[in-house]
Amino acid sequence: MMVPDLEEAAENGEIESIETVETAEGHKVLVNLKARPAEQRYLTVRREPDKPRNFVDVSRLFKMLRKIFPKGEIISTCEEPFDPATSNRRKK
């Protein structure tokens, strides 16, 4: 599912919820459709339709999702628990 497909599904009221999953590479978007509740679709790009799109800037991601799906449920999860020892944040 690409962004234009997501926009069309949102306009038609076909989206149940949207989930962002934080991974080591960035954030991926899973879409749950009302017509197929057991099936989750990743947001992809035209160049690689079989590979989930990776978002590095989380603020841009959520601005885009809120524009497309302003009143719907957006769930944010993390693939792995946060470990400060392996975090890439600067230490003071």
CATH, residue 28: 3.30.720
Task: Return d(Cα 37, Cα 5) in angstroms, integer.
Answer: 17
Residue 77's H or E segment, with its range, is strand 73-78
The alpha carbon of residue 22 and the mean position of all alpha carbons in its chain are separated, in whole angstroms, by 9
pLDDT at position 12 is 92
Rounded Cα gap, residues 24 and 31, in angstroms: 20
- pLDDT tens-place string over residues 55-75: 999 899 999 999 999 888 888
Structure letter (DSSP) for residue 81: -
Residue 35 resides in a domain: yes
Whether 86 has a pLDDT exceeding 60, the answer reads no
In a domain, 39, yes or no: yes
Domain assignment present for residue 64? The answer is yes
pLDDT on residue 82? 58
The SS3 of residue 68 is helix
For 24, the domain range is: 3-77
pLDDT of res. 20? 92
Domain count, the chain: 1
**Each residue of 8-53: pLDDT tens digit?**
999 999 999 999 998 888 899 999 999 887 888 899 988 988 899 9
Strands 73-78 and 27-33, bridge-based pairing: unpaired
